[in-house]
Structure 1
Amino acid sequence: MLFNSFPFIFLFLPLALAGYQLLRRHGVAWLGLCSLCFYAWWDWRFLPLLLASICFNYCAGLAICSLHGRWRAAVFIVSLLLDLGLLLWFKYAAFLFGISAGLPLPIGISFFTFTQLAFLVDCWRGSAREPGFAPYLLFVSYFPHLVAGPVLHHAEMMPQFRNGRPLQAEDLALGLTIFAMGLAKKVLVADNLAPLANPVFAAGAAPQLLDAWIGTLAYAMQLYFDFSGYSDMAIGLSRLFGVRLPENFDSPYQSRNIAEFWRRWHMTLSRFLRDYLYIPLGGNRKGEWRRRANLMATMILGGAWHGAGWTFLAWGALHGVFLVLHQRFGANRPGWWGGPLTFCAVLLAWVPFRSPDLASALSIWAGMAGLHGAGLPHALGGPGLRWIPAGGMELPLLLLAALAAWFAPNTRQLVEQRWNGRLRNAGAVAALLLACVFSMNRPTEFLYFQF
């Protein structure tokens, strides 16, 4: 079930809100049941897998918190290995061993596995204790974040899952506002940029200079508005129930250096990689060379988290190299060129991330260097753009999307600055929702569902 679909907006969400209001004394259990139904809508075959993972890690958390000595260590290690083994089997077995689980990838498996891995690590460190099965089930399966994040941390979520809380008018207003903004990012912007990006990244396309740059820029904007739109919708939906999810995007394309970009892009994943990978590896505590090695390892594994393929590893390695170069040469040298240089680096790295294979990525980079021809417009005496649709609104939309990503405030800032409960603002939100609804004739999946 997609957030940008009629069944979700006009059936599932109203029933979830009505049931939560009527069953306030059992609100946590009701939201947990709704979340399981939401997941089963995708593919009921994977609901037992999700439930088994939740039950296993719940029991493991109890054991880690109550046992001592070798038994505690044994439970912790076995639990981590089984969780990682499940992820490896479904997501990486074909890539690593040439075998397949025989089923499609369970949606959201990376998110619910990493959420529970972090919880087990915190149980081992003594900074978390099992709160009860119903809150834990809701924490893992909470439908606004389950299939594409944000990556949640128990410390910020568990205190918010409380029974007896009625729906609040302010939460409903703010939640609908944020949801509408996210839906508009997805339906009105990201989906309409796909025709610019998809042909350029087709296998064997060999795009010319302008096609390659326009297609890559279109994908950069498509991915940003698609994923930040999902995150906004998740935050807005959660706010309807009085629960606040962490922010996941902070205008990352406005970053002045690559380190700042990773503090502002997919912020909850960056936090997870820092707290549960980079710092345990040693962080910056064991010398400069070890620091660089830790950065490279973290970014390569972050690339592998996104998918089983050399293209994702290459994307992660590129960002690792960018971060190492930034710390070596650019950390204390801010300048006007920092922002454009950072965006160009991010843009070049999106090429392998989107490409079907490394050969296609190399071909697109060659096209960006002009090795396949310039592809100048007719007005400049050239043959015209080969892959870019002519006569449509895609190019003006791309320009507007880029200007918004580079200069506009993010959703949180817009809501804080503009929303004040006035009727005209409510009318604007209603008009935005209507525009999105009329554009939802063919709902498309979110790009991060594949991860």
Structure 2
Amino acid sequence: MLFNSHVFIFGFLPIVFIVYFIFRKIDLVAGAKIWLVFSSLFFYSWWNPVYLPILLGSIITNFLFGKTIEKVSYKKIILTIGIIFNVALLGYFKYVDFFIANVNMIFETNFSLLHVALPLAISFFTFQQIAYLVDTYKGEAKKYSFLNYALFVTFFPQLIAGPIVHHKEMMPQFETLSARFVRAKNVVLGSFIFFIGLFKKTVIADTFAIYASDGFGRPETLTLIEGWIVSLSYSFQIYFDFSAYSDMAIGLALLFNIKLPINFNSPYKALNIQDFWRRWHMTLGRFLTKYIYIPLGGNRISESRTLFNIMIVFGISGFWHGAGWTFVVWGLLHGVASVIHRLWRKLAIDMPKWLAWFITFQFVNVAWVFFRAESFQDALHVLKAMVGLQGISIPPYLESLFQQIQVIPYEVTERFFVGDLYEFHKIIVLLIVFLFISVFAKNSIERLQSFRPNWKTALFIGFVTVVSILHLTRVSEFIYFNF
């Protein structure tokens, strides 16, 4: 079920909300928790009920692993088995065809692909439960009941695409569920940020998706200006798409008086790649740092080992996002950039902020090409277009200008990029406007923190809500549903 759908907004959410607080009002805390678990499982299985046994099996198995680790003396063995179980589960459903295809290519074999369907959210709930097992082994996890644990994993606002929540920040909230009644403040704040997120998804991200999909669908035909339009369109599509989901998840949880961690904080304001990753998918970065980077030695051993650890972490990050070499390359590119940034800092050379921002943003934009492209060939076509190696096409009214620049070969075309000149003008304006917004404007979390209930806010959220709902006719998945 999608957050940006009529059935969710006008059906699922109101029913779940009302019944939950009926249970809370009559002081049936266990009933309220069971209702949330049941509702979350229904939400999850709406897409495809076949995935439900996988999720349930993972929850039950990991809970039993955790309980066993608490009781036995051979904790490390059980932890190892538990981690292997989770990695194997993720590896089979997400990566088995990728490995088979590569074996066939390298060894010239002809093993048949299994065409295993990817269960929704498996990357997210696997990482959450690995963290739980590791912390249980370290004695950092409390003894949770199965009901609270199941709710921790399945809570529908964060189930499909994060944030990757940690048991320490969520389980105490599920243990107590102290708010017995509907809190008007949380309802207002939750609705405020939810509908901002819905607007980002339905109006902004899905608009940029039209141009990005068109360009990446025919990368070999792109020329210089078109290549930049396509790459920037995808950069803003994924920015507002992921920001939208993060906002909507926080808003939905607030309705139930639950606080989720912030997962997105204006990453295009970053002045270096380290700053970018402190702002983008923040809970993934937190997981990779605590459960992979630090156990590998972090920065405690030697400088060369630190740089190696950085590359390992970013390689895993890329592979976590998708079963394809383009994702691995995307991750390694960010690893190389992080290594360069670390070495640059040692030189203690100050860079103007505008230049630092420009380099960071352009690197991120170029790296997104590999993230989005279906193949290396497609990615190279887009990158070649961006540097003019696939020619330059211009609309007719720019011909007189280009005639004065005779050293640049170009072709005049009536149909420029998508549709006509109107579409060209439209996308250029959209790119400029939303570049400005993403770099200079307050983000939704900042607006949430400074929220003031007044007529201006009411008009703003009313406008955002109406426009968003009117755009629900073109329902689309969130990008991170694929991961």
Task: Tell me, yes or no, whether TM beats 0.5.
Answer: yes
Deviation at 1:102, TM superposition (A): 4.2
Partner of 1:335: 352
Query: Does the residue aligned with 2:471 lie in a helix, a strand or coil?
Result: coil
**After the TM superposition, which residues 222-301 of structure 1 pair with which residues of structure 2 at under 5 Å, given as runs?**
222-301=237-316
Partner of 1:82: 85
Query: Does the residue aligned with 1:198 lie in a helix, a strand or coil?
Result: helix
Paired letter, 1:148: A
Paired letter, 2:463: A
Question: Greater CA radius of gyration, 1 or 2?
Answer: 2
**After the TM superposition, which residues 312-327 of structure 1 pair with which residues of structure 2 at under 5 Å, given as runs?**
312-327=327-342
Deviation at 1:159, TM superposition (A): 1.1
Paired letter, 1:44: P
Q: Does 1:357 align with 2:370?
A: no
Q: Distance in 1 between the 2:475 and 2:35 partners?
A: 27
Paired letter, 2:166: H
Partner of 2:133: 120
Partner of 2:387: 369
Q: Distance in 1 between the 2:462 and 2:416 partners?
A: 39
Partner of 1:73: 76
Partner of 2:365: 347
Paired residues of 1:351 and 1:361 also in contact (CA < 8 A): yes
Q: Distance in 2 between the 1:424 and 1:273 partners?
A: 41
Query: Does the residue aligned with 2:352 lie in a helix, a strand or coil?
Result: coil
Q: Distance in 2 between the 1:428 and 1:409 partners?
A: 15
Q: Distance in 1 between the 2:288 and 2:258 partners?
A: 24
Q: Distance in 2 between the 1:163 and 1:324 partners?
A: 44
Deviation at 1:403, TM superposition (A): 1.2
Q: Distance in 2 between the 1:233 and 1:114 partners?
A: 21
Paired letter, 2:170: M
Q: Distance in 1 between the 2:266 and 2:151 partners?
A: 30
Partner of 2:118: 105
Partner of 2:173: 160
Deviates more, 1:196-205 or 1:57-66: 196-205
Paired letter, 1:388: V
Query: Does the residue aligned with 2:366 lie in a helix, a strand or coil?
Result: helix
Equivalent of residue 444 in structure 1, options 476, 479, 482: 476
Paired letter, 2:412: P
Deviation at 1:347, TM superposition (A): 0.7
Q: Does 1:432 align with 2:464?
A: yes
Q: Distance in 1 between the 2:115 and 2:338 partners?
A: 38
Paired letter, 2:469: V
Paired residues of 2:194 and 2:248 also in contact (CA < 8 A): yes
Equivalent of residue 406 in structure 1, options 407, 422, 439: 439
Paired letter, 1:415: L
**After the TM superposition, which residues 184-203 of structure 1 pair with which residues of structure 2 at under 5 Å, given as runs?**
184-202=199-217
Partner of 2:147: 134
Q: Distance in 2 between the 1:394 and 1:130 partners?
A: 54
Deviation at 1:189, TM superposition (A): 0.2
Task: Give a deviation string over 1:44-97, Cα, whole Å, max 9, x none.
Answer: 1111111110000011111111211x3x22211111111110100010000112
Q: Normalising by structure 1, what TM-score? A: 0.96
The structure-2 alpha-carbon separation of the partners of 1:330 and 1:197, relative to structure 1 and needing over 3 Å to count, comes to farther
Identity %: 41
Paired letter, 2:204: V
Paired residues of 1:62 and 1:129 also in contact (CA < 8 A): no
Task: Give a deviation string over 1:358-383, Cα, whole Å, max 9, x none.
Answer: 11111111111111112233222152
Q: Distance in 2 between the 1:428 and 1:404 partners?
A: 16
Paired letter, 2:468: C
Paired residues of 1:196 and 1:388 also in contact (CA < 8 A): yes
Paired residues of 2:219 and 2:382 also in contact (CA < 8 A): no
Deviation at 1:415, TM superposition (A): 2.0
Deviation at 1:100, TM superposition (A): 4.7
In structure 1, stretches of 5+ residues that fail to align are none
The structure-2 alpha-carbon separation of the partners of 1:414 and 1:204, relative to structure 1 and needing over 3 Å to count, comes to closer
Q: Distance in 2 between the 1:334 and 1:395 partners?
A: 29
Query: Does the residue aligned with 1:200 lie in a helix, a strand or coil?
Result: helix
The structure-2 alpha-carbon separation of the partners of 1:320 and 1:434, relative to structure 1 and needing over 3 Å to count, comes to same
Deviation at 1:388, TM superposition (A): 3.3
Q: Distance in 1 between the 2:114 and 2:153 partners?
A: 23
Equivalent of residue 418 in structure 2, options 384, 388, 397: 388
Paired letter, 1:335: P
Q: Distance in 1 between the 2:322 and 2:376 partners?
A: 14
Paired letter, 2:308: A
Cα-Cα RMSD: 1.5
Equivalent of residue 162 in structure 2, options 149, 164, 170: 149
Paired letter, 2:440: F
The structure-2 alpha-carbon separation of the partners of 1:101 and 1:30, relative to structure 1 and needing over 3 Å to count, comes to farther
Paired residues of 2:33 and 2:148 also in contact (CA < 8 A): yes
Paired letter, 1:172: V
Paired residues of 1:257 and 1:339 also in contact (CA < 8 A): yes
Q: Distance in 1 between the 2:459 and 2:243 partners?
A: 23
Paired residues of 1:199 and 1:205 also in contact (CA < 8 A): no
In structure 2, stretches of 5+ residues that fail to align are 102-111, 400-410
- Size of the aligned set, in residue pairs, is 448
Q: Distance in 2 between the 1:342 and 1:32 partners?
A: 42
Deviation at 1:101, TM superposition (A): 4.7
Deviation at 1:129, TM superposition (A): 2.6
Paired residues of 1:90 and 1:100 also in contact (CA < 8 A): no
Deviates more, 1:19-28 or 1:309-318: 19-28
Q: Distance in 1 between the 2:268 and 2:248 partners?
A: 20
Paired letter, 1:363: H
Equivalent of residue 59 in structure 1, options 64, 69, 73: 64
Q: Normalising by structure 2, what TM-score? A: 0.90
Q: Distance in 1 between the 2:219 and 2:448 partners?
A: 44
Partner of 2:55: 50
Deviation at 1:130, TM superposition (A): 3.3
Deviates more, 1:170-179 or 1:364-373: 364-373
Deviation at 1:423, TM superposition (A): 4.2
Partner of 2:109: none
